[in-house]
Structure 1
Amino acid sequence: MRPDAPLTLALYQPDIPQNTGTMLRMCACLGLAAAIIEPTGFPTTDRHFRRAGMDYLDHVRLGRHPSWSAFEAWRRESGARLVLLSTKARLSYTDFEFAEGDILLVGRESAGVPEEVRQAADAQIVIPLKNEMRSLNVAVAAAMVAGEALRQLGRV
């Protein structure tokens, strides 16, 4: 985690390069740290990833973790609270009290996160949707929650 970053956005085994590039660009623009938990479903040389992230990728502090267990060891050492964005959660992201240093975790676009990861989260939050809707694009969800967290922390 970046000492000057109020939050970290962690991506669990991302599998769509455009979404990953978009989220890393958001991190650069908002001053968030980022973490990628591997494996990813694409190489970082992927043209869609590079195009979505553009030259902003050079401005984001990015930690790469070769596995969930490596990420979890790093997180526990940092003492950061893990906040999972999940369609299965019950607590609305607007009712959650964010804190400096929180790690916002998003799952794979195709499958979310496994139960082991869900159980490791200190909190699980949801973006309430209309009943017939399943989920938002992961990059959109990450942006909404990051914006609310930064607002609560007085960073915007």
Structure 2
Amino acid sequence: MKMKITDRGVGVGFHIVLYQPEIPYNTGNIARTCAATNTKLHIIRPMGFTTDDRMLKRAGCDYWHSVDIAYYDSMEECMALYSDHRFFFIETQGKHTYTEVTYKDGDFFVFGKESTGIPKSILEQHRENWIKIPMSLEHVRSLNLSNTAAILVYEALRQTNFPGLE
């Protein structure tokens, strides 16, 4: 599988960061959302699968050529490259709901690994940018990662009038 690895430039569109993703279907679905919304995908290694995984290919369908994707060895590496951007960390214990934030072009949405989320050491450094999607924690532990990513990206796009989308 050939993935497009480019840099559209800083401040163009929104960004999804997957911190050590474990499930290929989720990453494939998120990649498809990224292709549909001109959102750049950033992946923090290690991943729980390889990029030639057939489930990853299947979930992303034939959209991989349209995904702007970059890989990093740490969250710090990614944040250092985009130090003038806002990073929002999505976790069930976030202080603010995702609809309380006014998003702007170039914002980053960080999602943790499916089994353990974003490490507390990272979250504690960015408590002011910790957001959540309201839900009943009495009934479920969390929403599906790819659904959560789509909710955040589409809210940000809605707030900015869906630039470049039909």
Within a 5 Å distance, the mapping from 1:19-58 to structure 2 comes to 19-58=26-65
Whether 1:117 and 2:122 are equivalent positions in the alignment is yes
Within a 5 Å distance, the mapping from 1:4-153 to structure 2 comes to 5-76=12-83, 79-121=84-126, 123-132=129-138, 133-153=140-160
Give the superposed CA RMSD. 1.6
* Stretches (4+) displaced over 4 A: none
Percentage of matched positions with identical amino acids: 36
TM-score by length of 2: 0.86
Tell me the amino acid that sits aligned with residue 64 of structure 1.
Answer: Y
SS in 2 for 1:150: helix
Q: Structure 2: how far apart are the matches of 1:120 and 1:10?
A: 17
- Cα displacement (A) at 1:116: 2.2
SS in 1 for 2:18: strand
After superposition, what is the alpha-carbon deviation per residue over 1:52-110, rounded to whole angstroms, capped at 9, x for unaligned?
A: 0121111011011122232232222xx11100111010211111111111001111011
After superposition, what is the alpha-carbon deviation per residue over 1:33-66, rounded to whole angstroms, capped at 9, x for unaligned?
A: 1100111011101111111012111101101112
Unpaired runs of at least 5, structure 1: none
SS in 1 for 2:148: helix
Unpaired runs of at least 5, structure 2: 1-6
- Cα displacement (A) at 1:120: 3.8
Q: Structure 2: how far apart are the matches of 1:69 and 1:130?
A: 32
Q: Structure 1: how far apart are the matches of 2:96 and 2:8?
A: 27
Aligned length: 154
SS in 1 for 2:141: coil
- Cα displacement (A) at 1:131: 4.3
